[in-house]
Amino acid sequence: MNPYKSQAKKAFWRPAVAEPHYADLKDLWTPFTLKRSDKVATAGSCFAQHIGNNLAKRGANYMDMEPAPPMFADVAEAREWGFGVFSGRYGNIYTTRQLVQLFDEAFDKRVPAERVWEKEGRFFDALRPSVDPVGQSSAAEVLALREKHLKAVRKMFETLDMFVFTLGLTEGWESVEDGTMFPMAPGTLAGSYDPAKYRFHNLRHAEILQDMKSFRMRLLEVNPNARMLLTVSPVPLTATATDHHVLPATVYSKSVLRSVAGEMAEDFEDVSYFPSYEIISSHPSGGMFFNPDQRTVNAFGVNYVMSHFFSGPLEAEFKSMETFREEEELDLICDEEKLERALE
């Protein structure tokens, strides 16, 4: 007897990857069951926006806890102000540490020592500086808006059925005083960098795994039936704050995040993993899903990922997908890309 004799063809490289055309790959994941009535919320790095966009347009009960006011000319303008990008107006949540700290703040378990940054006489939310391009006239206005935001986040966590979180980065900048991790380094969008007040923190595997386990426990305490879907962003780092070249820094970061996501999905029945990272980034794809910058994912790649996502029970539930117009080019809102200003 040979233990591999009972394995399906998908377990062997030659019939599963080498022989079929890449467009014909099958069984890349085991889709979970999701009903149209299930409330779905998204958060994470830039690539999570594609999943949320496709779920919403295919008829999922996609949660928008902070809808845009009617003052904007169109959806694109509203997105520039953080509306409709994710289920909450929290901007990019790149690290697991941000996610845990946001949850704790929403449920009155912590208050960050530093919540407001200033730039040229205007005031910004330090925990989501990109959602307000022009800032507020006072710190008090920023804090009042943040309280309203946190109430929406709290309700989201309490009422969602499925939480889709895309892990994006291991690198982050945190407060020396209390460990609050910011979505961007101070001084990039607002505030100013002071090495005595802020430090770089490249989260290790053990830290990220503990963050995700802690977040899961917190979520289930307030919402016992909540489930999670984890993905890893295939988008490489714009820049690294380590001493390493950005290429190995990217591979390190994505490898750690993929490992954590895999362990979570293996250990907990209420956690699933979708391989968007592997579909886009693995070498059999030949890099064909990236734009010429070798970083951003083209519409062809996004649509191919979504064709795998909406398979099995998801395809059966969302039968309207044949009437869905494939994504041409979603203008992603990515705070990290602003780091390229350092080259100017």
**Residue 113: which of 171, 173, 179 has the closest Cα?**
179
What pLDDT does 322 receive?
A: 46
What pLDDT does 341 receive?
A: 62
Q: What percent of the chain has pLDDT over 90?
A: 84
What pLDDT does 218 receive?
A: 98
Structure tokens at 31: 């889709």
Q: Where are the beta strands (DSSP E) in the chain?
A: 39-44, 61-62, 116-119, 122-125, 162-167, 171-175, 181-182, 198-202, 227-232, 271-273
Average pLDDT of span 229-243: 95
What pLDDT does 67 receive?
A: 95
For 20-37, the pLDDT digits (tens) are 999 999 999 999 999 999
Q: Give the pLDDT band (50/70/90) at residue 53.
A: confident
The whole-model pTM stands at 0.93
**Residue 48: which of 305, 328, 339 has the closest Cα?**
305
Q: Give the pLDDT band (50/70/90) at residue 241.
A: very high
What pLDDT does 321 receive?
A: 46
Does the structure show a pLDDT above 80 at 198? Answer: yes
Q: 16: which DSSP letter?
A: I
For 286-320, the pLDDT digits (tens) are 999 999 999 999 989 999 999 999 999 999 898 75
Is there a contact between 230 and 208 (Cβ–Cβ < 8 Å)? no
Structure tokens at 12: 């062997």
Is there a contact between 184 and 130 (Cβ–Cβ < 8 Å)? yes
What pLDDT does 330 receive?
A: 63
Distance CA 32, CA 287 (A): 28
Average pLDDT of span 45-69: 90
What pLDDT does 51 receive?
A: 86
For 262-285, the pLDDT digits (tens) are 999 999 999 999 999 999 999 999
For 73-123, the pLDDT digits (tens) are 898 899 999 999 999 999 999 999 999 999 999 999 999 999 999 999 999
Is there a contact between 158 and 222 (Cβ–Cβ < 8 Å)? yes
**In 107-232, which ranges are continuous DSSP H helix?**
139-159, 205-222
Q: Give the pLDDT band (50/70/90) at residue 323.
A: very low
Structure tokens at 149: 């935001």
Does the structure show a pLDDT above 70 at 340? Answer: no
Strands 116-119 and 122-125: antiparallel
Distance CA 308, CA 286 (A): 18
Instruction: Count other C-beta atoms under 10 Å from residue 262's C-beta.
Output: 14
Is there a contact between 89 and 125 (Cβ–Cβ < 8 Å)? no
